[in-house]
Amino acid sequence: MKINLPETGQERIVIIGGGFAGLMLAKKLAGTNYQVVLLDKNNYHQFQPLFYQVAMAGLEPSSIVFPLRKIFHKSKNVYLRVTEVLAVNTEEKFLKTSLGRCNYDYLVVATGADSNFFGNQDLERLTIPMKSVSEALYLRNRILDDYEKALSAIDYDQRQGYIDIVIVGGGPTGVEVAGALAEMKKYILPKDYPELDATEVDIHLIQGAPMLLPGMSENASKQSLKFLEQLGVKVKLDTRVTNYDGEYVYMSDDTTIQSKKVIWAAGVTGSLIEGLPESLIVRGNRVEVDKFCQLKGSSDLFAIGDIAYMEEEGFPEGHPQVAQVAIQHAKLLAKNFKLKAKNKAPKAFSYKDLGSMATIGRHRAVVDLPNYKFSGAMAWFVWLFVHLFQILGAKNKFFVFINWVWNYLTYDQSLRLIIKPRIPSKELEVKQD
């Protein structure tokens, strides 16, 4: 069975993934003489940098997602299909998907990255990752649900298991989650759960490297550690989490921490598709590409974003897996497709580092710009402005801004709802049959 797509006679570019890279490429190719097919398992784009605010009940999930179809209302050459890509046949040039077969002239892999559990099945099964808005919402439910359970726990150790939280990974996600949890402990718990002693809540951040934010400057690392300690977060550096059994976290220094919740932010691995040339799969499950984002030895296969591995002067181990790299990949590849249509030579990619940043709570953030590094309140306002500007949709920008202003003025949010999915009994019976 084939996916129902019109045969227009145009060359077909199939893009797998509607993240920063795939979406930007599709937008840049809208209105060209190519037929552009965007495949994604969701019908929306997710703004990943703010997942942690959904998890901490600071934003509604709808504020950081945007319907893909709305973006392409006026784009007659762009077609969207919600499906899961199962495999690629590079010889016959087609994809196997859950909807059927999809042929292509050019294939662009923009599948991004998933959480890396380093082969530990217990960690994969029992910890909570945060790579999608649904996972962020699940974490929000778990945190609030466990606070409710802690109210009825008579035994001290049992109660600690519910209220203590461990975050594994000291990159931007781990640092931002730890800061948000610390502020929840300080400002929300005493109001929502006065029967709980907020001083009993321990927030642990475990980092395998000797410094936080290893991709940023030494100043950013030191300042983020200082900010977290000011907020009462217990940070352990140069310590690896070796296992988790659902009750206790086991670490490389032979110590343990009791907690029923472990947030996993310790690393990423490329989301590979079966059928890609194994010889091009490198460290981190990324696909090696040349300076034109093209898989080496191929004229019709491309990879952009987190899944792509490209070495460049100044980046001998590949570019960082961040949104700016993905966006710049997409813009360059779109330009090269347009040049190809005019029989002109393609341009080579060169990454322009615009800087990096992380927030650790109100008036606490670190910003590394190419020629200037700073932290504190000014960095926090810069972080807010940059992320607000990047969110898709005027309505989403407005609601995020209102939520942030309200939270700033009141130290409170009204989004602490435990919303669990429910499968209707009839549908459940069908699935069981």
- Axis-axis angle for helices 323-341, 20-29 (nearest 10): 30
Distance CA 316, CA 323 (A): 19
Take residue 17 and report the two structure tokens written for it.
Answer: 């993934």
Amino acid (1-letter code) at residue 35:
Q
CA neighbor of 90 nearest in space, from 240, 295, 355, 232: 295
Take residue 163 and report the two structure tokens written for it.
Answer: 């209220």
Distance CA 334, CA 302 (A): 11
DSSP helix/strand/coil, 71: helix
CB 161 within 8 A of CB 259: yes
Nearest-5° Cα angle at 23, 22 to 24: 95
Does 311 participate in catalysis according to the annotation?
no
CB atoms within 10 A of CB 396: 19
CB 239 within 8 A of CB 207: yes
> DSSP code of 99?
T
Distance CA 11, CA 17 (A): 19
Distance CA 309, CA 116 (A): 17
DSSP helix/strand/coil, 161: helix
DSSP helix/strand/coil, 222: helix
Instruction: Given the residues 176, 195, 218, 247, select the one marked as catalytic.
Output: 176
Catalytic positions are 176
